Chains A and B, each alone.
Chain A
Amino acid sequence: MEHAARNTSTPLMRVDRLYKTFDISGGLLEQLAWSDGRLRRVKTVVKAINNVSFDIFEGETFSVVGESGCGKSTLGRTVIGLHTPDSGRVDYDQARIDTLSPRQMLPYRRRMQMVFQDPYASLNPRKRVVKILEEPLRFHFPELSSGEARDRLEEVMLQVGGDPQWLSRLPHEFSGGQRQRISIARSLVVDPEFVVADEPISALDVSIQAQILNLMLEAQEQRGLTYLFIAHDLSVVEHISTRVAVMYLGTVCELAETSELFSNPRHPYTQALLSAIPRLGHKRGKHLKPKEEHRERLKIDIRMISRMSWSSWASWPRRHLSAHRNVTAV
């Protein structure tokens, strides 16, 4: 399990002019519409990712933040190959991966792993933990003997702060935090280099969030992992990231080093987002509130932005997003 030293100036992952759209026009009958006295077929397309480019370097924690519906999860799923992009390319370790066949993709599937948001949905309730963890391990390392596989499982279980005895239990016997430890164990068991963590702590309680974040930081230190961290909680992002990309309506509107982004946000959306985070006062009880006149201005900004991001629910693409329509005569 050694990690070969790589040149740090070439990115581990390069995303170049990525586009991903989803067709939400429904069936043929729903697509038909009258206009100008003719029957037309209307296709409605949502641009979930709209020309996104960035590099991720080895060992860093690259965070993507944004509100619900901005395309951050789609981005995470697309770079790891769970969605195929419409155009643009994704390079991993200097090789193009978005055009690979499923078979060619296999070695990359081991090197890139994913941790999902909801630990209640991401673990199969009918399988014991040992099966959940063994399946990816056996699949990617068929040469392991059952004794070796068992050792690997116990080792990773201890590493995520669990107990080897957990292996014989079912997911429903665990709390949310413990389940998230198990899903992190599942991603670590195949010894990945790159982990996409899609809101890994937002379903957890505050005191448990700190436990899981610490676990992720430790795993990164021990294994030299690179993270793509997707989140909406800005204070968490500020704590763990090296660089942050702020997404808004499918595009990256600002990308900067973490300290730079938080101390000197440039894009109006980033500014509004930062001003909206509730924060505890600093240790001496001094609370940094924007001055009254700034607050007024910020309120206007927030209002302007929220009008465009009334997007929390399934109906948003049709209504509020820059849904793009292709009209063709039938």
Chain B
Amino acid sequence: MAALLEVKDLVVNFALRGGELTALNGISFSLNQGERLGLVGESGAGKSVAGFSIINLISKPGYIAGGRVLFQGREISVLPFAQLRGIRGNLITMVFQDPMMTLNPVLTVGTQMIETLQAHQRISDRDAADIAVDKLRQVHIPSPERRLEQYPHEFSGGMRQRIIIAIALLNNPQLIIADEPTTALDVTIQAEIMDLFVELCNQQEMGLILITHDLAVVYETTEKIAVMYAGQIVEQGPTEEVVSSPMHPYTQGLIAALPQGDQRGTRLNQIPGTMPTLTSIPAGCSFHPRCSQAREICSRQTPALKPGQARERLVACHMLHQ
């Protein structure tokens, strides 16, 4: 079976007056039908750019400088705008972070949902409204018929995010890309939204790419994980294994930095320093200035993402490939 999505050596550059900046430096991953992948990293790691670049939503001065994106075996990174439109919002949909910003405040929820359907299907208003009601019900919004008439401001943050998910589901997509979908929400609502994602993915065999900085959310939601640092994937593998035995020093540091319930009041393990900005990515392994295990080779040579002990696990670190 062909993979649902294959990203191969994707490079995204930003052409600025001062020169080219590389935001994504050759990332590769794949996703099967119904699989859930977490893209984790701190701000500036390039995880959002990675998500956007899948459906070529990178706007100028950014552009895809290399690599390929294959969706159901078809290369979509080179498609012209008109054909890309048939995929965006249809086969691949996105859910963004801020539910306040994503909905149009001057249109009713119903109008926005019907519009999305009619952009991709020849369908009457009435049929479209029926589908909209059905999708709102799927995301557990009570009395959906009445809700269609309402404006976004009449909903709470969590409900708005549900509506956005319902809109993302309208055309029965194969893949949802969710960029920090719960960061603006409270924890109890976050728990509900993540439960909803898992439920929908299981029901409809939908793929999910969850972009977040929160390792714990990824741990609870996804099957695969890719940890990003400074525009590269540094570690990749099954979520359970990566979290329980991280191999890359950065992943190890991230996990060790989280407070554990049983060590109250003690110092946390911190990673010294900060993520480099795009203008000052160090030579060699981009993590080496912050890495406690760094040796001479790390500052000279960029480590490739290679299999670790198990075949499905990939790690980019010199220390593990000697």
Residues on A facing B (Cβ under 8 Å): 67-68, 175, 177-178, 205-211, 213-214, 217, 232, 234-236, 238-240, 258-259, 262, 272-273, 275-281, 283-285, 287, 299, 302-303, 305-306, 309-313, 315-316, 320
Contact = CB atoms under 8 A, between A and B. Distances in A.
B240 interface: yes
Interface string B96-114: 0000100000000000000
Interface stretch (B65-73, B122-130, B184-192, B299-307): B184-192
A236 B156 CA distance: 26
A302 B156 contact: no
B158 to A, nearest CB: 6
A309 B270 CA distance: 34
16 contacts: A67-B186, A177-B274, A206-B42, A207-B257, A210-B269, A239-B263, A239-B265, A240-B259, A272-B188, A281-B219, A299-B192, A302-B188, A302-B192, A303-B192, A306-B189, A315-B153
Interface string B248-265: 000001110111110111
A279 B187 CA distance: 12
Interface residues of B, number: 51
Nearest to A237: B259
B201 interface: no
Interface in B46-100: 100
A305 B42 contact: no
A152 B263 CA distance: 34
A209 B213 CA distance: 12
B274 to A, nearest CB: 5
A214 B267 contact: yes
A240 B267 CA distance: 9
Given A232-B186, A311-B156, A210 B268 contact: yes
B175 interface: no
B43 interface: yes
B211 to A, nearest CB: 15
A238 B264 contact: yes
Contacts of A279: 216, 219-220
B42 A205 contact: yes
Contacts of B217: 278
